[in-house]
Protein backbone atom coordinates (compact mmCIF):
# COMPACT_ATOMS: atom_id res chain seq x y z
CA UNK A 1 0.00 0.00 0.00
CA UNK A 2 2.87 2.39 0.86
CA UNK A 3 4.37 1.80 -2.61
CA UNK A 4 1.18 3.07 -4.22
CA UNK A 5 0.06 5.83 -1.83
CA UNK A 6 3.43 7.26 -0.79
CA UNK A 7 6.17 6.07 -3.12
CA UNK A 8 4.00 6.48 -6.23
CA UNK A 9 5.93 3.68 -7.90
CA UNK A 10 9.23 5.54 -7.48
CA UNK A 11 7.87 8.88 -8.73
CA UNK A 12 8.02 10.43 -5.25
CA UNK A 13 11.82 10.06 -5.11
CA UNK A 14 12.32 11.04 -8.75
CA UNK A 15 10.28 14.23 -8.24
CA UNK A 16 12.19 14.93 -5.05
CA UNK A 17 15.52 14.76 -6.87
CA UNK A 18 14.22 16.78 -9.84
CA UNK A 19 13.45 19.63 -7.44
CA UNK A 20 16.12 19.15 -4.75
CA UNK A 21 19.05 18.75 -7.17
CA UNK A 22 18.61 22.27 -8.64
CA UNK A 23 20.40 24.91 -6.57
CA UNK A 24 21.74 28.41 -7.00
CA UNK A 25 22.32 30.99 -4.24
CA UNK A 26 19.32 33.09 -5.29
CA UNK A 27 17.05 30.03 -5.57
CA UNK A 28 18.10 28.79 -2.13
CA UNK A 29 17.35 32.24 -0.69
CA UNK A 30 13.96 32.28 -2.42
CA UNK A 31 13.15 28.83 -1.04
CA UNK A 32 14.26 29.78 2.48
CA UNK A 33 11.80 32.68 2.29
CA UNK A 34 9.05 30.33 1.12
CA UNK A 35 9.63 28.08 4.10
CA UNK A 36 9.79 31.04 6.47
CA UNK A 37 6.46 32.39 5.22
CA UNK A 38 4.87 28.96 5.70
CA UNK A 39 5.85 28.81 9.37
CA UNK A 40 2.92 28.27 11.76
CA UNK A 41 4.41 30.93 14.02
CA UNK A 42 3.16 33.59 11.60
CA UNK A 43 -0.48 32.70 12.30
CA UNK A 44 -1.09 35.93 14.28
CA UNK A 45 0.27 38.02 11.39
CA UNK A 46 -1.82 36.23 8.76
CA UNK A 47 -4.88 36.44 11.00
CA UNK A 48 -4.33 40.18 11.50
CA UNK A 49 -4.00 40.71 7.73
CA UNK A 50 -7.17 38.69 7.15
CA UNK A 51 -9.04 40.68 9.79
CA UNK A 52 -7.88 43.90 8.13
CA UNK A 53 -9.17 42.70 4.74
CA UNK A 54 -12.46 41.69 6.32
CA UNK A 55 -12.76 45.04 8.10
CA UNK A 56 -12.14 46.92 4.84
CA UNK A 57 -14.89 44.88 3.18
CA UNK A 58 -17.26 45.46 6.10
CA UNK A 59 -16.54 49.20 5.97
CA UNK A 60 -18.11 49.25 2.49
CA UNK A 61 -21.40 48.33 4.14
CA UNK A 62 -22.02 45.03 2.35
CA UNK A 63 -23.29 42.72 5.07
CA UNK A 64 -23.19 39.59 2.87
CA UNK A 65 -19.49 40.13 2.08
CA UNK A 66 -18.75 40.95 5.72
CA UNK A 67 -20.44 37.72 6.81
CA UNK A 68 -18.42 35.77 4.22
CA UNK A 69 -15.19 37.25 5.63
CA UNK A 70 -16.29 36.46 9.16
CA UNK A 71 -16.85 32.87 8.07
CA UNK A 72 -13.43 32.78 6.43
CA UNK A 73 -11.79 34.09 9.61
CA UNK A 74 -13.61 31.49 11.71
CA UNK A 75 -12.60 28.69 9.33
CA UNK A 76 -8.99 29.91 9.34
CA UNK A 77 -8.82 30.20 13.14
CA UNK A 78 -10.57 26.94 13.99
CA UNK A 79 -8.74 25.22 11.13
CA UNK A 80 -5.41 26.38 12.52
CA UNK A 81 -6.18 24.83 15.91
CA UNK A 82 -7.59 21.62 14.42
CA UNK A 83 -4.71 21.27 12.00
CA UNK A 84 -2.25 21.71 14.88
CA UNK A 85 -3.87 18.86 16.78
CA UNK A 86 -3.94 16.63 13.70
CA UNK A 87 -0.32 17.34 12.76
CA UNK A 88 0.78 16.84 16.35
CA UNK A 89 -0.83 13.39 16.33
CA UNK A 90 -0.12 12.26 12.76
CA UNK A 91 3.56 13.14 12.43
CA UNK A 92 4.83 11.06 15.38
CA UNK A 93 2.28 8.28 14.79
CA UNK A 94 3.25 7.84 11.13
CA UNK A 95 6.92 8.67 11.85
CA UNK A 96 8.04 8.70 8.22
CA UNK A 97 11.73 9.54 7.77
CA UNK A 98 12.72 12.76 6.07
CA UNK A 99 14.79 12.63 2.86
CA UNK A 100 18.09 13.06 4.70
CA UNK A 101 17.46 9.84 6.65
CA UNK A 102 15.60 7.91 3.93
CA UNK A 103 17.97 8.46 1.00
CA UNK A 104 21.64 7.54 0.55
CA UNK A 105 24.20 9.80 2.24
CA UNK A 106 25.24 12.72 0.07
CA UNK A 107 22.23 12.49 -2.26
CA UNK A 108 20.14 15.17 -0.50
CA UNK A 109 20.97 18.86 -0.70
CA UNK A 110 19.93 20.38 2.64
CA UNK A 111 19.64 24.13 3.05
CA UNK A 112 18.96 25.31 6.57
CA UNK A 113 18.39 23.04 9.53
CA UNK A 114 18.77 19.31 8.95
CA UNK A 115 15.73 17.28 10.06
CA UNK A 116 15.41 13.51 10.16
CA UNK A 117 12.00 12.39 11.47
CA UNK A 118 8.27 13.10 11.22
CA UNK A 119 8.13 13.90 7.54
CA UNK A 120 4.49 13.07 6.74
CA UNK A 121 2.55 15.35 6.37
CA UNK A 122 4.41 18.61 5.79
CA UNK A 123 3.27 21.13 8.41
CA UNK A 124 4.50 24.15 6.43
CA UNK A 125 2.60 22.99 3.35
CA UNK A 126 -0.51 22.31 5.41
CA UNK A 127 -0.39 25.80 6.92
CA UNK A 128 0.11 27.48 3.54
CA UNK A 129 -2.84 25.57 2.08
CA UNK A 130 -4.93 26.38 5.14
CA UNK A 131 -4.40 30.08 4.46
CA UNK A 132 -5.13 29.73 0.75
CA UNK A 133 -8.19 27.50 1.13
CA UNK A 134 -9.69 29.53 4.00
CA UNK A 135 -9.50 32.80 2.10
CA UNK A 136 -10.21 31.43 -1.40
CA UNK A 137 -14.00 32.01 -1.48
CA UNK A 138 -13.61 35.71 -0.63
CA UNK A 139 -10.65 36.34 -2.93
CA UNK A 140 -10.88 37.90 -6.39
CA UNK A 141 -8.94 36.41 -9.32
CA UNK A 142 -5.61 38.20 -8.69
CA UNK A 143 -5.80 37.33 -4.98
CA UNK A 144 -6.59 33.71 -5.81
CA UNK A 145 -3.55 33.54 -8.08
CA UNK A 146 -1.47 35.00 -5.27
CA UNK A 147 -2.83 32.44 -2.79
CA UNK A 148 -2.12 29.61 -5.22
CA UNK A 149 1.44 30.81 -5.89
CA UNK A 150 1.99 31.22 -2.15
CA UNK A 151 0.89 27.66 -1.33
CA UNK A 152 2.91 26.15 -4.18
CA UNK A 153 5.97 28.23 -3.25
CA UNK A 154 5.88 26.99 0.34
CA UNK A 155 5.39 23.39 -0.79
CA UNK A 156 8.21 23.53 -3.34
CA UNK A 157 10.48 25.18 -0.79
CA UNK A 158 10.14 22.23 1.57
CA UNK A 159 11.31 19.87 -1.18
CA UNK A 160 14.02 22.19 -2.48
CA UNK A 161 15.52 22.64 0.98
CA UNK A 162 15.64 18.86 1.54
CA UNK A 163 13.05 18.79 4.34
CA UNK A 164 10.23 16.81 2.68
CA UNK A 165 9.32 14.49 -0.16
CA UNK A 166 6.63 15.60 -2.64
CA UNK A 167 4.19 13.11 -1.06
CA UNK A 168 4.61 14.87 2.31
CA UNK A 169 3.73 18.20 0.69
CA UNK A 170 0.70 16.75 -1.09
CA UNK A 171 -0.45 15.12 2.16
CA UNK A 172 -0.16 18.48 3.93
CA UNK A 173 -2.20 20.14 1.18
CA UNK A 174 -4.87 17.43 1.33
CA UNK A 175 -5.08 17.59 5.13
CA UNK A 176 -5.80 21.32 5.03
CA UNK A 177 -8.25 21.05 2.16
CA UNK A 178 -10.23 18.43 4.09
CA UNK A 179 -10.16 20.50 7.29
CA UNK A 180 -11.35 23.63 5.45
CA UNK A 181 -14.01 21.71 3.55
CA UNK A 182 -15.39 20.18 6.78
CA UNK A 183 -15.36 23.51 8.61
CA UNK A 184 -17.06 25.32 5.72
CA UNK A 185 -19.71 22.58 5.57
CA UNK A 186 -20.28 22.99 9.31
CA UNK A 187 -20.45 26.79 8.98
CA UNK A 188 -22.98 26.49 6.13
CA UNK A 189 -25.09 24.07 8.13
CA UNK A 190 -25.05 26.37 11.17
CA UNK A 191 -25.90 29.42 9.09
CA UNK A 192 -28.99 27.76 7.61
CA UNK A 193 -30.32 27.09 11.10
In a domain, 141, yes or no: yes
Q: What is the pLDDT of residues 76-107, one digit of tens each?
A: 999 999 999 999 998 999 888 899 888 888 88
In a domain, 180, yes or no: yes
In a domain, 11, yes or no: no
Verdict on whether the full-model pTM lies above 0.75: yes
In a domain, 4, yes or no: no
Structural domain of residue 57, as residue ranges?
A: 25-192
The pLDDT score that the predictor gives to residue 5 is: 66
- For the residues 18-22, what does the mean pLDDT come to? 95
The pLDDT score that the predictor gives to residue 3 is: 63
In a domain, 13, yes or no: no
77: left (phi over 0), alpha (psi -120 to 50) or beta: alpha
From residue 121, how far is each of 12, 79, 127, 147 by CA, in Å?
Answer: 14, 16, 11, 20
Average pLDDT value for the chain: 90
In 95-122, which residue ranges form alpha helices assigned H by DSSP? Answer: 99-102
Q: What is the pLDDT of residues 131-186, one digit of tens each?
A: 999 999 988 899 999 999 999 999 999 999 999 999 999 999 999 999 999 999 99
The pLDDT score that the predictor gives to residue 7 is: 80
Query: Rounded to whole angstroms, how far apart are CA atoms 48 and 95?
Result: 33
Number of domains in the chain: 1
Amino acid sequence: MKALLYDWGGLNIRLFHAINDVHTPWLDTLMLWGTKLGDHGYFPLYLALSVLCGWLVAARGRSDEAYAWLTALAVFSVGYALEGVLLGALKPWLDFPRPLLALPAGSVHVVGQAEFRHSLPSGHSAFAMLIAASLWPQANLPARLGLLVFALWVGLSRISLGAHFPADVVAGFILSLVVVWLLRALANRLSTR
